[in-house]
Structure formats: structure tokens, C-alpha cells
A and B are shown apart, each in its own frame.
Chain A
Amino acid sequence: MERLLLTKKKTIRVNEDTWIVLFEERIDFSPGQFVMLETPKLVRKPFVLGYWEDHTAISVQVKGKGTKWIVEEAEKIKGHGPLGNGFEKPGKGLLIISPTCLTMAEALRKKMNVDVLVGSRTPFQIPLEHETAVGDEEFLRKLSSTGEYDWYLVSGSRGMEKVCWEHLRGKEVYFSLEEYMGCGIGACKSCAVFTKEGVKHVCTDGPIFRGDELCWS
């Protein structure tokens, strides 16, 4: 983990509210790890690391002032990372993701044998070489007709996580969780996850957890 100063190279719009942000600097990270980045808000925000066009990149869903600043105004961004644990699995896997995880998918594809299904609520504005689904109906249809894989990794909204957990019951499913983080390094305890083994934290124990480890109620 280091203190970072990242130089924004360019942004690419993916759909209505999500952008890919490319950086000049290289970061040595494992797929699944994330960085905490400073915005005009008072608390740094976590972004999962990945690649795009052979650059270190993150995907950003614009939700408010901080994320808007990263996409539209920022030139240099302070932060720290890489944080969390990397993910590596043998066998053939399927990534089921929202557009905010496209760059992570590129990082995973470099190291693992995976197919990708991207579910978006709004139409894509760039061509993607992955399987895509726009809207809940199409997403559910494609999710139901996926072939058999050795494992699955889901990274998206709470709703997407729950639907996938229902549809993939009995299979080896992992979830890359998102939770509000104050520090990203295990100090503040804000990103709690209630598991069958007690409280864990997205930042230090995750961000990726096995589905059957989590308390879903």
C-alpha cells in the first residue's frame, strides 16, 4: 500500500452514468484490489482497479459531486492503495458485472479463464466484446440461459447480487462487495459485513467473499 498521485489520461463514457477513467501511472495490483481516491468530499472513496486500452483504469458511476469531479474536473487525484485482497481461481469462470466493473473484468481476463456478462440499466455508448444485457428483463433472461461454469463472480448493485444468488443457488459463487468505507485499511470499521463467522470487513477481509459465507437475511 502506498500513497498515490494519479494523473488522469482520458475518460470514456460507457452508458448514461458510467465512465472509464484512464491513468498515466502504472500500479502494481492483483485483480480484485481497489484504491481509495480523494474527491472534494470529506471521505475518500473506493474504486476497484483494472485496465482499459492497456492503461491502469477505474470505472466510475457518477452518483454525486465527488464522482462528477473525478470524471469532469480532476487532473491529478490523490489516494492510497492498492488495498484489499486479490482474486485468483483455476477453472473456467463467469463474471456477472455492472458497467462499473468493466475495468476489473479486463484485469481478471488477463489472469484467468473467464467469460463476462455485463448488465446495464441504460444502453451502452461504446461497443463491448462481452455479452451484454440492457434492462432487468434481458439480464434475467441471459442469466437464466448461461452455461455451466466452475465458478461465478458477481460485482454490481445489491439488487443484482441478490438476483444472482437466487439464480445460481448451489453453485460456487463469489461476490465483490461494496460498502461505505472511511479508511480502506481496517482502521475505521465502517465497511462491516456480517458473515456466518461473525463480523468481517470489505476492506481487509474482502472485497470478494464466497456467497455461502454471507448472511443474506
Chain B
Amino acid sequence: MLELKPPLVLLSGPAGFGEYLKLMDHRYVGGVLLKTVTLHPKEGNPTPRMADSDFYVINRIGLENPGIHAFVENVPELPVPMIASLGGDSFEEYLEVARVFKKVADRFHAVEFNFSCPNVKEGGLSIVKNAEEWKKLLNTLRKELPDSFLIAKVGVEGIFVEDAAEFVMKTGWDGITLVNTVRGLHFEKDTMILGGLSGPVLKPIALRAVYEVKKRFPELFVIASGGVYSVKDAEEFLKVGADVIGVGSALFKDPGVVEEIGKYLLEVKR
């Protein structure tokens, strides 16, 4: 089982490779879900890559990352538990990334596979929409990393989260992260930004997803991701059964909120 104290993680993407830890008391951070790493290095998308409004943040970073080979040669050393996040553009890439990652797997408390990045051409969305292919991939990755705590990150596009959770359970995976950003479109003056929507507007969608999945599969470990900006948000995700609370884009507004939520979680989960 993945035991994090407090059950709070900084989420993949906004948390980068742990840079935010410089701004917070580590006692209140249960772990960091590192930025998604792919087989080949990615430069990411042209700018503008992000915009915000009163209710949401939209980003199209495009998974900029150094690639799995550079990553395993230079694994970050952080003062809190680390969860790796791995991605790919095809079945073969996911498998190859897992094979390379094996060398350093014992340095991570868990590994999340990102099956839902909306900001790259393939990025997992095309894999989950083909259910048979995805189940085959889940089985293959489970065999490739038999000792790792495996978490699948899925969004609400391309598949029903209840079905995704069932596949994850049946293929022997340990957990699921619900949800990723949702594809959206934002105008910044005359520039269109087509990217992943996060922030407070995502919370009702993520709450529903966690609620439905935990109702059907209470034993499945769930990291809740989507619109956690306050202690009240964390409280609501606990009510629907989340095992771990993820904080993502709220880091951009106020990294101090992590300590507030962390203190609360330490108190209620003592």
C-alpha cells in the first residue's frame, strides 16, 4: 500500500520536478508526483502555453521533458516521497519507457502512467479510446514492473472513468488518479489557446469521478486531482472516498495552501 503522510501530493505538471518544495514546510507534503517523462525528449509547444481567468487555468505545455534516458541518469533527490509519471505516444513507447524506468524504480514510492495528456498529438488519449488495446497495455506494463505500486492517470475523455477503473482493477494495477485536465479553448485577446483546463471549474467533474469509482471499487486506491484550492475542497474529496488529495494549479495561486491542507489532513488522518 502507498502510505503518504499527510495523504497529499503535489500533482504532475504544476509541481515540475519538486521545485515548489523550496517554498513550503515539508512536514505538510506527503509526496511529489513528478512531471511526466516520455521516451524521447520533448521541446513542448510554442508560446503562449498558459492563460488564466477567474475560474480556470488552461495550459498547452506539450509535455516538455528531458526524456526517460536523461531522467534515469539524473533522478531528482527530494526530501519527500516521489512518484514518477511516465507517458508515451504509442503502445511501444509506453513499454519502452517502463523498461528504461526499471533501473531506478526502487527510488520511487509509486509510478503513475499518464494515459490522458490532452496537449500532445497522441499522449494516451488515443490509447484509452481503444479499450482492448489499453487493457493489453495495462497487462503488459504490470508484468514489466511487477514490484511497483502502479497508478493509472485517466481523464474523463475517451472513456468512462468507471470502465477505466474496472480495467485498472482487473489488470492488477494498484491505483488510479482521477482526473486529468479536460480539453478546452480560451481566447487571450485574439490568440486561441487550445489546451487542458484545470482549476476550480474542474472540481465538480473530479468529485463525481472519484465518487462513482470509489462507490463501485472501494478497494481501488484513488488520488484525487482536480480543483483543490482549499481545505474545504480537500474535505469534500475525502467525503467521496479519495485516498490522497492532489494539489495542482492551486500552487500557481498560493503555494501556502499546501501547508493548510497538509495540516488538516494530518489532523483528520492521524
* Interface of B: prevailing SS: loop
A44 lies within 8 A of B50 (CB): no
User: Does B131 sit at the interface, judged by CB under 8 A?
Assistant: no
Given contacts A189-B61, A190-B61, A199-B64, contact A183 B19 (CB under 8 A): yes
B53 lies within 8 A of A192 (CB): no
A residues near B57, Cβ cutoff 8 Å: 42-43, 182
Q: How far is the CA of A109 from the CA of B61 in the complex (A)?
A: 37
User: Does A10 sit at the interface, judged by CB under 8 A?
Assistant: no
Q: How far is the CA of A38 from the CA of B35 in the complex (A)?
A: 24
Q: How far is the CA of A191 from the CA of B255 in the complex (A)?
A: 19
Given contacts A1-B23, A199-B64, contact A42 B50 (CB under 8 A): no
B residues near A1, Cβ cutoff 8 Å: 22-23
B12 to chain A, nearest CB (A): 11
A183 lies within 8 A of B20 (CB): yes
A44 lies within 8 A of B253 (CB): yes
B16 lies within 8 A of A188 (CB): yes
Q: How far is the CA of A198 from the CA of B249 in the complex (A)?
A: 26
B44 to chain A, nearest CB (A): 6
A residues near B106, Cβ cutoff 8 Å: none
Instruction: Classify chain B: how many residues form its interface, as a range.
Output: 35 or more
Q: Of A38, A186, A190, A194, which contacts B50 at CB under 8 A?
A: A190
B64 lies within 8 A of A192 (CB): yes
Q: Of A3, A180, A186, A188, which contacts B23 at CB under 8 A?
A: A3
User: Does B54 sit at the interface, judged by CB under 8 A?
Assistant: yes
A residues near B64, Cβ cutoff 8 Å: 189, 192, 199
User: Does B199 sit at the interface, judged by CB under 8 A?
Assistant: yes
Q: Of B17, B43, B50, which contacts A43 at CB under 8 A?
A: B50
A187 lies within 8 A of B44 (CB): no
B16 lies within 8 A of A183 (CB): yes
B 160-204 to A, binary, CB cutoff 8 A, 1 in contact else 0: 000000000000000000000000000000000000000110000
A residues near B44, Cβ cutoff 8 Å: 189, 192, 199
A62 to chain B, nearest CB (A): 15
B50 lies within 8 A of A187 (CB): no
A183 lies within 8 A of B52 (CB): no
B101 to chain A, nearest CB (A): 21
CB < 8 Å A-B pair total: 104
Q: How far is the CA of A1 from the CA of B255 in the complex (A)?
A: 13
B53 lies within 8 A of A41 (CB): yes
User: Does A185 sit at the interface, judged by CB under 8 A?
Assistant: yes
Q: How far is the CA of A185 from the CA of B16 in the complex (A)?
A: 9
User: Does B14 sit at the interface, judged by CB under 8 A?
Assistant: yes
B19 lies within 8 A of A43 (CB): no
A188 lies within 8 A of B54 (CB): no
A38 (CB) vs chain B CBs: closest residue: B254
How many interface residues does A have (CB within 8 Å)?
Answer: 27
A residues near B47, Cβ cutoff 8 Å: 179-180, 190-192
Q: How far is the CA of A185 from the CA of B18 in the complex (A)?
A: 10
A37 to chain B, nearest CB (A): 11
Q: Of B16, B49, B53, which contacts A186 at CB under 8 A?
A: B16
B residues near A65, Cβ cutoff 8 Å: 54
A68 to chain B, nearest CB (A): 13
Q: How far is the CA of A194 from the CA of B44 in the complex (A)?
A: 10
A42 lies within 8 A of B20 (CB): no
B residues near A43, Cβ cutoff 8 Å: 50, 52, 57, 249, 252-253
Q: How far is the CA of A206 from the CA of B254 in the complex (A)?
A: 23
A42 lies within 8 A of B54 (CB): yes
B residues near A192, Cβ cutoff 8 Å: 43-44, 46-47, 49, 64
User: Does B51 sit at the interface, judged by CB under 8 A?
Assistant: yes
B residues near A194, Cβ cutoff 8 Å: 43, 46
A187 lies within 8 A of B19 (CB): yes
A187 lies within 8 A of B20 (CB): yes
User: Does B251 sit at the interface, judged by CB under 8 A?
Assistant: yes
User: Does B13 sit at the interface, judged by CB under 8 A?
Assistant: yes
Which A-B residue pairs are the 5 nearest by beta carbons?
A187-B16, A190-B50, A187-B19, A43-B52, A43-B252
Q: Which residues of A contact B (CB under 8 A)?
A: 1, 3, 38, 40-44, 65, 78, 80, 179-183, 185-192, 194, 198-199
Q: Which residues of B contact A (CB under 8 A)?
A: 13-17, 19-20, 22-23, 35, 43-44, 46-57, 59, 61, 64, 199-200, 249, 251-256
What are 9 A-B contacts with C-beta separation under 8 Å?
A42-B53, A42-B252, A44-B252, A182-B57, A183-B14, A183-B20, A185-B20, A188-B16, A190-B61
